[in-house]
């Protein structure tokens, strides 16, 4: 009987010992820590992804903004090259009331934005050297509307210079200007000796 009691007491003691050992040796579930780490990594990736997209978007926007800016420059250059071509030489004649200037742009049917006419004066009665260099002054700046008014049916243009005097030699050049303010080189010089007194002119 005593032996049986000892065996039962030993079993109870062993059971209590194992129960205590299993309770004290438990360190906790590591899964919450791993879950937290995974959550942080996902959050980091989520925040990094829009940054990369934003960078690509900014790069694309910058590239698009750069390409269109070059197009107008090419167009302006073409106009500049076209505007540097010398216009046709003026044809001169005289009447009792002034010098008649005529010109024609040939196949060019459109009216230019502006035309400037310059003149050099030589008073040969006072001994001016007609073959010497002289200062050119602006005698007319014709807008597109004014050019349309003096344009003839055949496409030629006629302008009267009434600010002339007898026994003066006049040399004229013409400059054609475009919409951007770009002007051509001067035309070849045209010369005339004015011989009228202009006494009966208005």
pLDDT, tens digit, 9 for 90 and up, residues 67-125: 444 444 434 344 444 444 568 889 999 999 999 999 998 877 788 999 999 999 999 99
**Among candidate residues 42, 164, 176, 50, the one with its CA nearest the CA of residue 110:** 176
Contact by Cβ (8 Å): 103, 190: no
pLDDT over 80 at 13, yes or no: no
Encoded tokens for 99: 């010098």
Confidence at residue 73, expressed as pLDDT on a 0 to 100 scale: 40
pLDDT, tens digit, 9 for 90 and up, residues 153-194: 989 999 999 999 999 999 999 999 998 889 999 999 999 999
Percent of the chain with pLDDT over 70: 58
Hey, where are the domains in the chain?
Answer: 33-83, 91-194
Domain 91-194: give its CATH superfamily. Immunoglobulins (2.60.40.10)
**Among candidate residues 162, 166, 175, the one with its CA nearest the CA of residue 103:** 175
pLDDT over 60 at 3, yes or no: no
């Amino acid at each position: 009987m005593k032996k049986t009691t000892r065996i039962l007491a030993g079993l109870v003691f062993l059971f209590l010992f194992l129960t205590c050992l299993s309770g004290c040796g438990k360190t906790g579930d590591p899964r919450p820590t791993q879950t937290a780490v995974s959550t942080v990594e996902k959050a980091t990736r989520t925040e990094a992804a829009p940054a990369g997209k934003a960078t690509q978007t900014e790069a694309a926007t910058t590239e698009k903004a750069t390409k269109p800016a070059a197009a107008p420059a090419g167009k302006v250059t073409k106009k500049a090259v076209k505007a540097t071509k010398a216009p046709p030489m003026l044809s001169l004649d005289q009447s009792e009331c002034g010098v008649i200037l005529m010109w024609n742009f040939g196949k060019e049917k459109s009216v230019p934005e502006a035309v400037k006419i310059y003149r050099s004066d030589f008073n040969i009665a006072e001994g001016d050297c007609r073959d010497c260099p002289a200062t050119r002054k602006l005698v007319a700046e014709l807008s597109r509307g004014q050019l349309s008014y003096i344009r003839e049916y055949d496409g030629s243009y006629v302008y009267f210079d009434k600010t002339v005097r007898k026994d003066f030699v006049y040399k004229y050049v013409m400059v054609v200007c475009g919409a951007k303010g770009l002007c051509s080189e001067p035309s070849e010089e045209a010369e005339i000796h004015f011989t009228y007194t202009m006494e009966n002119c208005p």
